[in-house]
Amino acid sequence: MRQIVLDTETTGLEVALGHKIIEIGAIEMIDRKFTGRHFHKYLNPEREIDDGAKEVHGITEAFLADKPKFADIWEELERFLDGAELIIHNAVFDISFLDSEIRALVRQGLAPQRKIEDFCGVIDSLAIARQKHPGQKLNLDALCRRYAVDNSQRQLHGALLDAEILADVYLLMTGGQTNLFGGGNNANDDPAGHNDNQIDQSWEIPPLKQIMASVDDLASHEKMLDLLAERSDNGPVWRREH
């Protein structure tokens, strides 16, 4: 399965007010493994950026002045996304902006009439998080804390960095590889006793390989226990408990 983890930064929050995309970052995975392929562009929106948005991502009009417009990169982006399943945190937001940019191209005669969901599937990781952790804070920083994902480089929002972080969060949230043996308490357990990092059994996970101790291994183990017995008052715990 080909999946693309995608994030955007914009000039403001409301697409209905004419706000536009100024950065797109996307990471490719096939069968839940990173391929090394990615898409990343800064875009000139040809309009001002809200002060509140600048505080979030730190991107200025001056920085974007010489960057391409959405029309310049659309064909490349379309080829990268075509047929993939998109993973987006709060997908409604990003999809609404992408569809708005496409509609603008259609009006200019630069693209056929279509929407993102006409050629891509969409998974909203925020909706998944709400199902798993109802009533909890579920922004990307909060999920990084919950799943122990390093986001120390995220001083400001950035589309490519956020896509990389979201990819790690999504894989843990949907596959869970942190509680390999199960059955015990975990620092990420919620107060009700549900372990957030339990393995999702719907995924096909190979059984653990068992490696038995050889005769030489057992002999070496006994020698070590003898040494511990000589050097301690109470003897090795292993022999007291077994």
Residues in the chain: 242
Burial class (CB in 10 A: 0-12, 13-18, 19+), 161: middle
Strands 33-42 and 21-30 come out as: antiparallel
- Tell me the catalytic residues: 157
CA-angle at 68, arms to 63 and 72, nearest 5°: 165
Residue 37 has φ and ψ, to the nearest 5°, of: -85, 140
Collapsing DSSP states into helix, strand and coil, what is residue 197?
Answer: coil
Residue 32: which region, alpha, beta or left (left: phi > 0; alpha: psi -120 to 50)?
Answer: left
**Within the chain, where are the H helices?**
51-57, 61-64, 70-81, 91-107, 116-119, 125-132, 140-147, 159-174, 215-231, 237-241
